C-alpha cells in the first residue's frame, strides 16, 4: 500500500485523478485527508502504524513520548490516533518517528480548488519569513506575479500586520507594566508558544494580551474589505494550520499552505519564479519584517514603547527558541529567576526562519530576512503610511484605539475541549 505522501505526489504529477476511482494500491483514507484536511489534525498518519518498532516501553511510542500536548494515543486495537483538537502542529512527533509513519497534513487540493472556483478574489497572505525561500534571486515582486499566475488577485505581506500588532503590543505593555515585577508574555506570533501557555501553563494566561497573530489580523482585514474573498496564508509553519481553525478566530484565514506546499504547486504548474516580471509593492516596515526571526518581536516592541512612552518603564526582553527552551524560560518566570518584563517564545530554533517547512537553512533564511528588512523604506510602524491607511479603514482615530478594536482581539476563554493531564513529560 502506498503512503499518503506518495498519493500526494502522484496527484500533483497527474498520475492519479481525484475525480476517478482510486487505484487499489492507494488508501481511500489518505485521499480523504488530502481532500478534507480540516477534519484531521495538522499531523496525520503517512501509513498504517499498529506496532511501533522504536517503542521504548510497553506503554510508550516514540511519537507519544515526544508530544507535550498529549495528542497521540492508541485505540483498543493498538492503532495510532491523533487528536485534532489537542495537536498543536509542532511536528515533534514527525521527527521522533524514525519509520516515517507520520507526516504533515496538506491543504493544497481544497485551497487551489477554492482559488479556481472563488466568487470573490483570492489573496495570498505571505509570512514575514518568505523572502529568499523560493530562490535567492527571486524578488517579492516576482513572487507576487507567481501568485497572480495561479489565479490570486494579489499578495499581501503579513509583516504589515506585524507592524500593527507591534503597536498594539507596545500599548498593552504600557497599560499593564506599571512597576518592577510586572511582566508580559507576547501573544502575537507563534501558535506553539501560545498553545503551550494556554494548555500547560494556564496560570500565566493573565499575562498574555488578548491579541490575534498578524496572520489572523491580515485575514480579518481582507474579509472586512472583501467579504467573499478567499484568504490563503503561506508560511513556514505547520502549526498555523491549527491556529487558523481555532474556535474564536476561525474564518479569518480559509487555508494555510506551507512554503513546501507552495513550492509543490509552483512546480506542478510549471511556474518559474525567476523568469517572471516584477510586481513590486512596499507594505511593511523593517520592524514588521523582523518578526520572522528570534528577537524580532522583542526588538520591535521595545523600540515602539520607547517611541510612544519614553518616560515610562522600558522593555527588558528575554527570548527562548525551541519548545524545550520555552519551557525552561517559563520555569524561570514561575520561580522568579529572571528580571525581564517581556518574554518572547518561539517554538522553532531561530524563530520562523527555522520553521519545519522552510526551503532554506535557518542561517540563510535569517540573512535573507535581515537584508530584506534593511531594504524597507520605513524603519518603524509609525513611519509606515500603510499602517495609517489601515487605521483609517478600521475607523480608528488614534493609535491608542488599537487597544480595543475587535479585529485585533481574540477570546482565549474559548477552548475546544478541556485539557487535562497535559505536560506530564515536562522538565
- DSSP assignments along 3-30, one per residue: -HHHHHHHHHTTSS-TTSPPPTTS-HHH
Domains of the chain: 4-105 (3.30.70.20), 109-157+216-275 (3.40.50.1780), 159-213+283-408 (3.40.950.10)
Answer for the pair 272, 151: CB distance below 8 angstroms, yes or no.
Answer: no
Mean pLDDT in order along the chain per 10 residues (427 residues): 96 95 95 97 91 60 91 88 94 93 97 95 97 95 98 97 94 92 88 94 95 96 95 98 96 98 98 95 91 94 91 92 94 96 96 96 96 95 93 86 88 62 39
For residues 283 and 168, give the distance between their C-alpha atoms in angstroms, rounded to a whole number. 18
pLDDT for the residue numbered 343: 97
For residues 344 and 199, give the distance between their C-alpha atoms in angstroms, rounded to a whole number. 17
389 conformational bin, left if phi > 0, alpha if psi -120 to 50, beta if neither: alpha
User: Rounded to a whole number, what is the distance in angstroms from the first to the last CA of the chain?
Assistant: 39
pLDDT for the residue numbered 419: 44
Answer for the pair 342, 186: CB distance below 8 angstroms, yes or no.
Answer: yes
For residues 232 and 339, give the distance between their C-alpha atoms in angstroms, rounded to a whole number. 40
Q: Which of 331, 340, 296, 355 is nearest to 423 (CA)?
A: 331
CA 117 to chain centre: 25
* Residues facing residue 154 across a β-bridge: 123
For residues 239 and 246, give the distance between their C-alpha atoms in angstroms, rounded to a whole number. 11
Answer for the pair 218, 158: CB distance below 8 angstroms, yes or no.
Answer: yes
DSSP state of 278: P
Q: Which of 329, 363, 105 is nearest to 239 (CA)?
A: 105
Q: Could you tell me the pTM of the whole model?
A: 0.93
pLDDT for the residue numbered 425: 38
Answer for the pair 83, 73: CB distance below 8 angstroms, yes or no.
Answer: yes
Please report which residue ranges of 155-238 form alpha helices under DSSP H.
159-176, 191-199, 214-225
Beta-strand pair 80-82/102-104: unpaired
Answer for the pair 4, 27: CB distance below 8 angstroms, yes or no.
Answer: yes
Nine-digit cell string for 9: 505526489
Run of H or E including 321 = strand 317-321
pLDDT for the residue numbered 256: 99
Beta-strand pair 122-126/154-157: parallel
342 conformational bin, left if phi > 0, alpha if psi -120 to 50, beta if neither: beta
Run of H or E including 413 = none
pLDDT for the residue numbered 423: 41
Q: 255: helix, coil or strand?
A: strand
Length of the chain: 427
122 conformational bin, left if phi > 0, alpha if psi -120 to 50, beta if neither: beta
pLDDT for the residue numbered 58: 55
Nine-digit cell string for 127: 509570512
DSSP state of 315: P
pLDDT for the residue numbered 427: 33
Residue keyed to cell 523560493? 134
CB neighbours of 361 closer than 8 A, spacing ≥ 6? Answer: none
For residues 242 and 10, give the distance between their C-alpha atoms in angstroms, rounded to a whole number. 26
pLDDT for the residue numbered 66: 93
DSSP state of 211: B
Amino acid at each position: 500500500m502506498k503512503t499518503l505522501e506518495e498519493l500526494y505526489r502522484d496527484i500533483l504529477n497527474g498520475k492519479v485523478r481525484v475525480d476517478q476511482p482510486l487505484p487499489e494500491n492507494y488508501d481511500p483514507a489518505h485521499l480523504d485527508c488530502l481532500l478534507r484536511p480540516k477534519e484531521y489534525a495538522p499531523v496525520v498518519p503517512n501509513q498504517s502504524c499498529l506496532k511501533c518498532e522504536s517503542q521504548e516501553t510497553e506503554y510508550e511510542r516514540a511519537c507519544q513520548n515526544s508530544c507535550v500536548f498529549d495528542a497521540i494515543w492508541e485505540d483498543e486495537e493498538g492503532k495510532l490516533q491523533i487528536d485534532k483538537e489537542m495537536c498543536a502542529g509542532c511536528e515533534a512527533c514527525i521527527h521522533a518517528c524514525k519509520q516515517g509513519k507520520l507526516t504533515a497534513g496538506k491543504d493544497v487540493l481544497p485551497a487551489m480548488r477554492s482559488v479556481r472556483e472563488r466568487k470573490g478574489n483570492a489573496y495570498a497572505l505571505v509570512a514575514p519569513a518568505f523572502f529568499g525561500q523560493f530562490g535567492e534571486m527571486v524578488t517579492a515582486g516576482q513572487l507576487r506575479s507567481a501568485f497572480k499566475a495561479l489565479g490570486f488577485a494579489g499578495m499581501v505581506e503579513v509583516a504589515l500586520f506585524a507592524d500593527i500588532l507591534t503597536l498594539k503590543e507596545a500599548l498593552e505593555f504600557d497599560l499593564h507594566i506599571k512597576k518592577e515585577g510586572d511582566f508580559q508574555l507576547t501573544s502575537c506570533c507563534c501558535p506553539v508558544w501560545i498553545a503551550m501557555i494556554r494548555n500547560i501553563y494556564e496560570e500565566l494566561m493573565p499575562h498574555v494580551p488578548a491579541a490575534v497573530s498578524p496572520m489572523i489580523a491580515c485575514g480579518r482585514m481582507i474579509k472586512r474589505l472583501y467579504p467573499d474573498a478567499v484568504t490563503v496564508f503561506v508560511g513556514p509553519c505547520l502549526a498555523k494550520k491549527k491556529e487558523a481553525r481555532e474556535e474564536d478566530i476561525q474564518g479569518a484565514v480559509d487555508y494555510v499552505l506551507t512554503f513546501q506546499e507552495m513550492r509543490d504547486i509552483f512546480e506542478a504548474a510549471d511556474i518559474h519564479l525567476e523568469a517572471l516580471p516584477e510586481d513590486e509593492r512596499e507594505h511593511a516596515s523593517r520592524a514588521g519584517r523582523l518578526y520572522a526571526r528570534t528577537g524580532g518581536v522583542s526588538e520591535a516592541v521595545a523600540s515602539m514603547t520607547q517611541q510612544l512612552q519614553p518616560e515610562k518603564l522600558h522593555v527588558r526582553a528575554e527570548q527562548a527558541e525551541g519548545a524545550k527552551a520555552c519551557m525552561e524560560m517559563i520555569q524561570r518566570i514561575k520561580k522568579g529567576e529572571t528580571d525581564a518584563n517581556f518574554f518572547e517564545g518561539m517554538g522553532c530554533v531561530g524563530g520562523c526562519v527555522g520553521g519545519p517547512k522552510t526551503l532554506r537553512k535557518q542561517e540563510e533564511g535569517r540573512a535573507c530576512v535581515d537584508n530584506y528588512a534593511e531594504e524597507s523604506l520605513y524603519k518603524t510602524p509609525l513611519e509606515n503610511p500603510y499602517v495609517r491607511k489601515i487605521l483609517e479603514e478600521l475607523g480608528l482615530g488614534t493609535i491608542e484605539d488599537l487597544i480595543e478594536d475587535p479585529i485585533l482581539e481574540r477570546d482565549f476563554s474559548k477552548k475546544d475541549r478541556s485539557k487535562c493531564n497535559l505536560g506530564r513529560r515536562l522538565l
